[in-house]
Amino acid sequence: MPKEVTDVICPFCGTLCDDLIITVSDDNKTILGVKNACAIGAEKFNHQRLPGRVKRPRMRQADGTYKEVSYDEAIDWTANMLVKSRKTLMYGWASTSCQAMSIGHDIAEKVGGIVDNCATVCHGSSLIAIEDVGVPSCTLGEVKNRADRVIFWGCNPAHAHPRHMSRYSIFPRGFFTVKGHKGRKIYCVDCRYTDTAKCADEFIQVQQGYDYELLNAFRTAARGEVLPDTVGGVPKEKIYEIVEDLKTARFGIIFFGMGLTHTMGRNHNIDIAINLTRDMNDYTKFAIMAMRGHWNVTGSGQVLGWQYGFPYAVDLSRRDQARHQTGETTSVDLLNRGEVEACFYIATDPGAHFPIDAMIKSSKKPTVTVDPHINCTTEISDIHIPVAMVGVEVGGCAYRMDNVPIETRKVVDPPEGMLTDEELLTKINQRVDELLAKGGA
């Protein structure tokens, strides 16, 4: 008799939808159906039952092929690598539970690792900006209940956060927003006429790489100062008009994405967007929020925050202090500069998402990759250790893009004998202790 699991959390993006309904076979082994999820979320749950899933660790041999090894062999190899290496990059964490991260940090502190998460190539710029100027923000429910001006700047939820617009930002009716979409004015600022732009009441096409100048123009206009005729391809009349409209908002919100974090100026683009938001609070209520990508990249920042005081790129390599300097202790820079001796990747795929030059350097070092599935990184690693899918085959805490913590749910059993991230890291930690006790380092 198949059963339905309700209130399931979707472990894909930072929207962390928590209303999925999953139909599970009576033996708890297979997912039969997914309700309420977006196309991507549904695909993730469906992937669980795809054939050809790797169920045991694999080690690369001299001829480049991979042979199956036992978890114990893989754990021992990994622990030895960590203990031997003077400086190890421990990157990923965005797709696992906060509980697993804690164990990973304990290991890093013992072996001298540098713990970095996927923010490093995603919203790291936003974190730098917040470190510099703070951030006035709110929870997504506030947007749903109060917002009457919504700006999407350099983000494309229609593609990257498919249910964001219906759950929180454009269409939902809330306590003070009974008219839903009709009661909101939606702006979209982008260099492309995206599918999100098509949902907006007004699309402002900015020349690629001119966001900083345009945001500066918005701030200048807000103070009633003169502007050049056009800024970033936008006529000054339009800029004055929009700024005046924003001032009359009851509650405004700016959502921004990698259109700001990845383009020229990076953190400065967010920095000045935050300052525009701050300025708007002199006239009305305004908030700003990063459209965080991975479902638990925010959680990694939180756990690193309370344990070491930095949100990512935390350098524990000295073992007696925690340090943080984006540009030095960030993954891509560490790989570019050849600053680490070994790589430990977990719950991520830098092979697909880092620039190739960084991965070429990475592939020359001892590398262990922990991931439920085969990906571009596992195939350039010495060892691939498969684990249960967090949020599908095991639960654990995750943080939404607005930092709201939600406990993900287990809906089906992992394949027979497969370890979870927590179990695997605990075993590696124990092995590391044994080696260190023997004077390994």
Partner 1 sequence: MTNKITLNMITCRTIQQGVGMEAGKTSQKYFDACTIMHMHPEDMKKLGIWKNTNVRVTSQAGSVIVKAVETREDLVPGLAHIPMGPWANRIVPAYTYSTGEPCFKGFPVEVEVAMNERIMGAIEIVQDACGLIRK
Partner 2 sequence: MNTVTLTVKKVPELYLECEKVNPDAFAGKTADQIAKLPGYQGKEISTLGDYFTVTGDAGATAADTKIVINGDCTKMKYIGAKMTAGEVVVNSTTDMYTGSWMTGGKLLIKGDVHSFCGLAMKGGEFIIEGDAGNYLGAAYRGDWRGMSGGVLRIKGNAGSDVATFMTGGELIVEGDVDIHIGTHMEGGKIIVKGNANRRVGGQLVKGEIYVFGNINVMMPGFKPVNEVELDVDGTTAKFTEYVGDLGERHPKRKGETVYGKLFLKQ
Partner 3 sequence: MSEYIIKNGHVFDPVQGIKGDKKDICVKDGKIIDKVGSGAKIIDASGKTVMAGALEIHAHVAGPKVNAGRWYRPEDKHFDSHKTAGITRIEGGKSIPTVFKTGYEYARMGFTFAMEAAMPPLYARHVHEEIHDTPIIDEAALPVFGNNWFILEYLKNQEIENTAAYIAWVMRQTKGYGVKVVNPGGTEAWAWGLNCLTIHDPVPYFEITPAEIIKGLMAANEYLGLPHSMHIHQNDLGNPGNYQTTIDTLKLAEGVKATNNFGRDQVMHSTHIQFHSYKGTNWGDFESGAKEVMDYVNKQKNLTIDTGNVTLDETTTMTADGPFEHHLHGLNHLKWFNVDVELETAAGVVPFIYDPNNAVFASQWAVGLEIALYAKDPMRCFITTDHPNAGPFTRYPRVYAWLMSEKYRNERLNSFKKADKVISATNLSGMDREITLYELAQMTRAGPAKALGLSKDYGGLKVGMNADIAIYNINPDKFPSDGAAIEKAFAQVAYLFKDGKICVEEGKIVDMGKKHTFWVDAKVKENKQVMHDVREKFLRYYSVNENNYSVPESYAPHQHIISVDATQA
Task: Tell me which of partner 1, partner 2, partner 3, none is bound by residue 125, counting a contact when its beta carbon lies within the kind-specific cut-off of 5 to 8 angstroms.
Answer: partner 1
- Comparing CB distances to partner 3, the nearer of 5 and 376 is 5
Strand-pairing partners, residue 24, are 3, 31
Choice between 275 and 348, CB closer to partner 2 = 275
Q: Give whichever of 49 and 319 is closer to partner 2, judged by the CB atom.
A: 319
Euclidean distance between CA atoms 53 and 36, whole angstroms: 25
Nearest to partner 3 of 207, 307 (CB atom): 307
Evaluate whether 233 touches 267 at the Cβ level (below 8 Å).
no
Q: Give Cα separations from 353 to 90, 259, 345, 359 (angstroms).
A: 16, 16, 13, 9
C-alpha torsion 332→336→338→341, nearest 10: 30
* Interface with partner 3 in residues 166-205 (CB under 8 A): 167-168, 174-176
> Where does this chain bind partner 1 (CB under 8 A)?
12-13, 39-40, 43-44, 47, 50, 63-64, 120-121, 124-125, 128, 156, 158-160, 162, 191-195, 205, 208-209, 258-259, 261-264, 266-267, 293, 313, 326-328, 330-333, 336, 349, 351-360, 363, 373-376, 379-380
Residue 195 has phi, psi (to 5 degrees) of -65, -25
Residue 415 binding result from partner 2, partner 1, partner 3, none, given CB thresholds of 5 to 8 Å by partner type: none
- Helix (H) or strand (E) segment spanning residue 132: helix 124-133
By the criterion CB under 8 A, which residues form the site for partner 2?
A: 85-87, 111-112, 128, 131-132, 212-213, 216-220, 222-223, 225-228, 231, 264-265, 268, 271-272, 275, 317-319, 324-328, 337-341, 441
Among residues 7, 43, 237, 241, which is the contact residue for partner 3, using CB under 8 A? 7
CB < 8 Å & 24+ apart, contacts of 168-174? 168/15, 168/140, 168/141, 168/143, 168/144, 169/140, 169/143, 169/144, 169/253, 169/255, 170/199, 172/144, 174/141, 174/144, 174/145, 174/146
423, 97 Cβ separation under 8 angstroms: no
CA distances from 225 to 36, 60, 219, 221, 239 (A): 48, 63, 9, 6, 12
Cα torsion angle, 262, 265, 266, 269, sign: negative
**Least distance between partner 3 and beta carbon 311 (Å):** 4
Window 111 to 170, contacts with partner 3 (CB under 8 A): 127, 130-142, 144-146, 167-168
Burial of 173 (0-12, 13-18, 19+ CB in 10 A): middle
Convert residues 308-327 into a mask of x (bound to partner 3 by CB under 8 A) and - (unbound).
xxxx----x--xxxxxx---
- Rounded to a whole number of angstroms, the minimum distance from the CB of residue 248 to partner 3 is 13
Least distance CB 145 / partner 3 (angstroms): 6
Its sign, for the CA torsion 189, 120, 294, 280, is negative
User: Which of partner 1, partner 2, partner 3, none interacts with 349 (beta carbon under 5 to 8 A by kind)?
Assistant: partner 1
Shortest distance, CB of residue 6 to partner 1, whole angstroms?
A: 22
How far apart, in whole angstroms, are the C-alpha atoms of residue 120 and residue 299?
A: 14
CB of 150 to partner 1, least distance (A): 20
First to last CA, the chain: 55
Picked from partner 1, partner 2, partner 3, none, the partner binding residue 305 (CB below 5 to 8 A depending on kind) is partner 3
**Does 72 contact partner 3 by CB under 8 A?**
no
Interaction with partner 3 in 238-277: which residues (CB under 8 A)? 250-251
Closer to partner 2 by Cβ: residue 98 or 342: 342
> Is-contact 420 390, C-beta < 8 A?
yes
- Minimum CB distance to partner 2 smaller for 59 or for 227: 227
Closer to partner 3 at the Cβ: 59 or 397?
397
**Which of partner 1, partner 3, partner 2, none does residue 142 bind to, with CB < 5 to 8 Å depending on kind?**
partner 3
Q: List 255's β-bridge partners, or say none.
A: 152, 289
Q: What is the dihedral of CA 228, 230, 235, 238, to 10 degrees?
A: -50
Report the alpha-carbon distance of residue 354 to residue 348 in Å, rounded: 11
Q: Provide the token pair at 422.
A: 């927590």
Q: Which residues bind partner 3 (CB under 8 A)?
A: 6-7, 9, 18-19, 98, 102, 109, 127, 130-142, 144-146, 167-168, 174-176, 250-251, 278, 281, 284-285, 287, 301-311, 316, 319-324, 397, 399, 402-407
